[in-house]
Amino acid sequence: MPSLSEMLGHERTHCAAFRAAMPARKARPCRVMQFWSWGGWLLGFVTALIGPQGIWACTAAVEAAVHRHLDDQLFFLANRDHDLHGIILAIREEELAHLHHAEEQLKSSGPALNFLRSLISIATDVLIWLSTWGDSSRMTRALKAAKKN
């Protein structure tokens, strides 16, 4: 699937952009990045067994979860780190394009695919939470509280 190869290229570019931004912020790569790699491979393998619709349902679910996380980061960084905000903004645009493309490829959204998407989206949210050691939850709560004020 040519478009998936292109998306993989984007993901590698995103990873490189984040890694390049880390030293100036005294940050380091996620401690569980290897689990992301293994989980992504396994998830891709299992959804490939379902066929193209499984692959696109998986892609849409992951991209939707990532998009929510990037939106939270953008809101948080808006007045804190303009350079990182710009990096994430550019990445979010590509991630949104991936999401829209995946959704366009889905020919149906029956109960099985909807369940698969929900399950994968929840798993992705959990992995994001684990990868940030809960910081993503604290950030989201702080942002919601700030929006109310």
What is the DSSP annotation of 127-149? HHHHHTTTHHHHHHHHHHHHHH-
Domains in the chain, number: 1
- Count of CA atoms in the C-beta half-sphere (13 A) of 6: 9
Using one digit for the tens of pLDDT, what is the confidence trace for 74-115? 998 999 999 999 999 999 999 999 999 999 999 877 899 999
Q: What is the pTM of this model?
A: 0.84
pLDDT at 28: 84
SS3 83: helix
Q: Which residues of the chain have pLDDT under 50?
A: none
| Segments forming the whole domain that contains residue 128 | 2-148
CB 127 within 8 A of CB 36: yes
Please choose, from the candidates 139, 11, 21, the residue with its C-alpha nearest in 3D space to the C-alpha of residue 75. 139
